[in-house]
Amino acid sequence: MTAFSLAVIPVSTACGGDCPVYTHTAGGAVQTSALIEASGIAASRRTPGYFFTHNDNTNDQRVFAVTAGGALRATYTIQNATNVRDPEDIAVGPGPTPGETYLYLADTGDNNNVRTDIAVYRALEPSVPASGAPVSENLPADKILLAFPDGPRDAETMFVDTNGDIYLVVKRLTPGKVYRAPFPQSTTQVNMLEHVGQLPWGNTQPTGGDMAADGSAIIIRGYFRMDYWERPAGATVGDILSQASCPAIWAIEPQGEAVCFINELRDYATISEGANPIVHLFYRQPPPPTIGAFVTALLRTPDDPDAILAFDYNEDDDLNGRDIRGFIDALLDN
């Protein structure tokens, strides 16, 4: 399977300089006939290595947990999901209980811009079973009703910030507008969304996105592009998404709409609509070694994921003086 990246003229980007480089690996095809219109994907945080995905179907409240190899591990039915019209994206993020992670399902699609009943369903993230036969479970969920301040909109991209704010990106406007539902969201009244920014490019129909678990990066895709932004501490989502992005690679898919970050290294995954869709994996590559970059990395906090990715030569998940020999060898090899 081929992966592509757009050729771009160098510009000032929200990535703080050089754009990250990724490589592509095709995972496995999802082995269930129940998933035929995968519209969103999210990486599990309770059980790393598993993904949640769902159909883009009316009255389909199911969420499927699969491996990168495509094995079905669980089917979850979202309770309290009434009159589901067009579920478009899924995310994992914080919620009402500190220390817990939650699964968010966005019933926010509206091709004709007529809906007044869009909603996001929020359930405690389940622990995906690693072995045995696939399980089926019900997930109690809160129903968070939302409304756009400027009339109905078609939103297929959702992600959740580290503080519990929910973000939607509109698909059929030029450019795509970004809206926020601040935390805590009401579960008894309609939450009026706030317009906080817009994408820097024209109408390429954003269809899915995600925010890194630590809030440090955002990725948004359309049918024919993938865009990545790094987010410095203290920067608002609206400001970052209004800046020029880094182009990210993607794989040819029948109708690829979904993307999610996988881990703290900001690797990401995609999936497409269609029968037995393939889970595609994209791995961030370390930059070429330089003395200046190595010294700078040593002075950073020990758990800096970028520094560890680039310079943890002895593979002890730490960056320290024991990596100096490996750095010298890498420098000589280059």
Residue 177 sits in the same domain as residue 208 = yes
Residue 25 sits in the same domain as residue 109 = yes
Residue 263 sits in the same domain as residue 121 = yes
Q: Which two tokens stand for residue 77?
A: 């039915």
Q: Work out the mean pLDDT of the chain and round it to a whole number.
A: 90
pLDDT tens for residues 238-278?
A: 999 999 999 999 999 999 999 999 999 999 999 999 999 99
Residue 228 has pLDDT above 80, yes or no: yes
Residue 184 sits in the same domain as residue 215 = yes
Higher pLDDT, 9 or 173: 173
Q: Is 97 helix (H, G, I), strand (E, B) or coil?
A: coil
Quick one: average pLDDT of 155-178? 94
In a domain, 312, yes or no: yes
* Residue 61 belongs to domain with CATH number: 2.120.10.30
For the ranges 19-23, 61-65, 191-195, 302-306, the lowest mean pLDDT is seen at: 302-306
Residue 294 has pLDDT above 70, yes or no: no
In a domain, 43, yes or no: yes
In a domain, 9, yes or no: no
In a domain, 114, yes or no: yes
CA separation for the pair 205, 325 (Å, rounded): 48
Sequence-distant (≥ 6) Cβ neighbours of residue 131 within 8 angstroms:
none
Residue 29 sits in the same domain as residue 89 = yes
Residue 190 sits in the same domain as residue 87 = yes
Other C-beta atoms lying within 10 Å of the C-beta of residue 282: 23
Higher pLDDT, 313 or 71: 71
Please tell me the predicted confidence (pLDDT) of residue 147: 98
Tell me the C-alpha to C-alpha distance, in Å, between residue 327 and each of 111, 240, 285, 288: 53, 33, 16, 10
Please tell me the predicted confidence (pLDDT) of residue 261: 99
Please tell me the predicted confidence (pLDDT) of residue 309: 67
Residue 93's domain comprises: 20-285
Higher pLDDT, 12 or 319: 319
Please tell me the predicted confidence (pLDDT) of residue 6: 39
Please tell me the predicted confidence (pLDDT) of residue 8: 31
Please tell me the predicted confidence (pLDDT) of residue 49: 96
Residue 301 has pLDDT above 70, yes or no: no
In a domain, 80, yes or no: yes
Residue 99 sits in the same domain as residue 181 = yes
Residue 229 sits in the same domain as residue 299 = no
Indicate the pLDDT class of residue 5, thresholds 50, 70 and 90. Answer: very low
Tell me the C-alpha to C-alpha distance, in Å, between residue 226 and each of 47, 72, 196: 26, 27, 21
Residue 327 has pLDDT above 60, yes or no: yes
Indicate the pLDDT class of residue 287, thresholds 50, 70 and 90. Answer: confident
Residue 300 sits in the same domain as residue 213 = no
In a domain, 5, yes or no: no
Confirm if 30 and 38 have CB atoms less than 8 A apart: yes
CA separation for the pair 54, 178 (Å, rounded): 23
Please tell me the predicted confidence (pLDDT) of residue 9: 32
Please tell me the predicted confidence (pLDDT) of residue 174: 73
Residue 57 sits in the same domain as residue 165 = yes
Residue 210 sits in the same domain as residue 307 = no
Q: What domain count does the chain have?
A: 2
In a domain, 11, yes or no: no
Residue 12 has pLDDT above 50, yes or no: no
Residue 120 sits in the same domain as residue 267 = yes
